[in-house]
Structure 1
């Protein structure tokens, strides 16, 4: 698994405002949207393309278009939804699927509680959206789920990652015969005793959508 940390002043600037506990919800949402578009630019470097012949106002030429089938963007519910518009702004022709993952409190393994995806993902490039890579279990489970359906190239886009999450994700995906990349804005120091990324930005889902009562 290749890990790419996007090193750019605008990424750092927006991430700093996201981390600030005084950033209110509307601004937080807008910053996530903008930041994901910057991350998506790096994450789509390997998107599949085909040549296409066109005519400019001056002369014919061979250009580039996205290959078929279209890329599939998969936000992990619920926090991943806050990243969707930022991704689609860059790749508006992408298709969108949804995946809900939760940890089984008895087995501690990730399990799927909701999905809206094609039954057959053979030949599909998938982009998985999840703001925080903390323990890595949910993201690893999501990637495995997509591979089981036939996806053959997967890029995960996260805002923040903890070293522990990266290590676990690497271990979970080690035996997959499918290319998998991870693109993040930053790798933070560690996880604390309750599984939050430090220094982090808090609970991304709550800061995007408020507390679920």
Structure 2
């Protein structure tokens, strides 16, 4: 099940919430954090692909021909907001292995909290694809807004933002800048701290995925 308003969907499925609780624990190992993130991203992918358009095609079963549904249109595009976004890719690609994949390289300036671009490579034909931008944390929203700006400049029209955790400040920032981009997340946490980290959160997602500090 999910709690949904016009802009934000919080996926409340028990498996999603259970795995997220295990990920939040400060003593979770890098290996278990990665495994749980892959598993939870697959579950979240079910939510973001819920409304993919389908069309009917004729197939032959072992018994007889029939009309059966298949996904319509071009393959969807998964856009990882580096570096932590890569942690969400594996699970989604298990579910949708034919998806095209792109990357937006942004890092947050520790003084200004503003995003700085260092890499951009995305599939062609974004104007004809469902584009799912992935980043585990929606904190200040500055990097997410910048990434969506870049995707729209490259033709993307149908965009969903998928994250593991969101802060109210980030959701508000995204809604202000991109009210046409729905957000899907596993949890809406309390707030940001003075350093722009989500509280209670789970720490720095990139560091926990890659075992860095």
Structure 1 position 140, deviation (Å): 1.1
Q: Deviations over 1:155-183 (max 9, x none)?
A: 11100000010001111114xxxx42211
Of the three residues 35, 39, 43, the one matched with 1:30 is: 35
The answer as to 2:207 corresponding to 1:209 is: no
Distance in 1 (CA, whole Å) between partners of 2:110 and 2:195 is 15
Structure 1 position 119, deviation (Å): 5.2
Structure 1-normalised TM-score? 0.91
Note the aligned Cα RMSD (angstroms): 1.8
* Pair 1:25–1:133, CA change in 2 (3 A): same
Distance in 2 (CA, whole Å) between partners of 1:202 and 1:151 is 31
Structure 2-normalised TM-score? 0.91
8 A contact 2:78–2:99 mirrored in 1: yes
Equivalenced residues, count: 208
The answer as to 2:143 corresponding to 1:142 is: no
The answer as to 2:158 corresponding to 1:181 is: no
Structure 1 position 8, deviation (Å): 1.0
Distance in 1 (CA, whole Å) between partners of 2:125 and 2:91 is 26
Of the three residues 90, 96, 108, the one matched with 2:101 is: 96
Distance in 1 (CA, whole Å) between partners of 2:79 and 2:109 is 21
Secondary structure of the equivalent of 1:88?
A: helix
Secondary structure of the equivalent of 2:126?
A: coil
8 A contact 1:124–1:150 mirrored in 2: no
Distance in 2 (CA, whole Å) between partners of 1:209 and 1:46 is 33
Structure 1 position 105, deviation (Å): 7.2
Q: Deviations over 1:119-153 (max 9, x none)?
A: 55221210111000000011111111111111111
Distance in 1 (CA, whole Å) between partners of 2:123 and 2:103 is 10
Task: Tell me the equivalent position of 1:86.
Answer: 91
Task: Tell me the equivalent position of 2:15.
Answer: 10
Structure 1 position 111, deviation (Å): 3.8
